Amino acid sequence: MDRDLDRLARIATERRLELGLARNKAATEIGISKDTWKRLERGEPIRDINYGKIDGALGWAVGSCVAVMEGGDPIPIEANKDDGVIAHVPVEGLQHELPDAVAMAALATTPDLTAREIKALSDQIVEELRKRGILPPAD
């Protein structure tokens, strides 16, 4: 799948500004160079491992940068009072999109998964739901 780096650049820059983060300070705090963050915001490719670091700096669940590049939305996270993580999963319209809801639930309950791991877990769950007759067979 093609990655839309310009889309990620726009959304990540907006989020950084929304959070009031200085690019250089944010880059230093997560262990990447300021030039890497600049490349991200210019819509240029960076190493995949750095996307996960940037997810955290922007308050997104791991895999959000990749999801944005693939046309999806980032999943905001926040620390709760028990030092856990809560992913804010949108629920409107999901009753008709159970496979997407399953992927979101997997992400919400396991925030350290990569986008590919979430997709694989979602596929496994959907297949199990189909075997049990909860979901109709695939088209």
pLDDT for the residue numbered 58: 93
CA angle 49, 87, 60 (to 5 degrees): 35
pLDDT for the residue numbered 102: 56
pLDDT for the residue numbered 24: 92
For 82-118, give one letter per residue: b (16+ CB within 10 A) or e: eeeeebebeeeeeeeeebebbbbbbbbeebebebeeb
pLDDT by position in tens, the chain (length 139): 578 999 999 999 999 999 999 999 999 989 999 999 999 999 999 998 899 889 989 988 888 898 899 898 998 886 544 555 444 444 443 334 455 555 555 555 555 666 677 677 777 777 776 676 666 677 6
pLDDT for the residue numbered 120: 76
pLDDT for the residue numbered 127: 76
- Rounded to an integer, what distance in angstroms lies between the CA atom of residue 127 and that of residue 129? 5
Contacts of 20 (CB under 8 A, 6+ apart): none
Domain ranges of the chain: 1-78, 89-139
- Rounded to an integer, what distance in angstroms lies between the CA atom of residue 6 and that of residue 68? 10
Domain 1-78 has CATH 1.10.260.40: yes
pLDDT for the residue numbered 92: 40
Q: Count other Cβ atoms within 10 Å, centred on residue 133.
A: 8
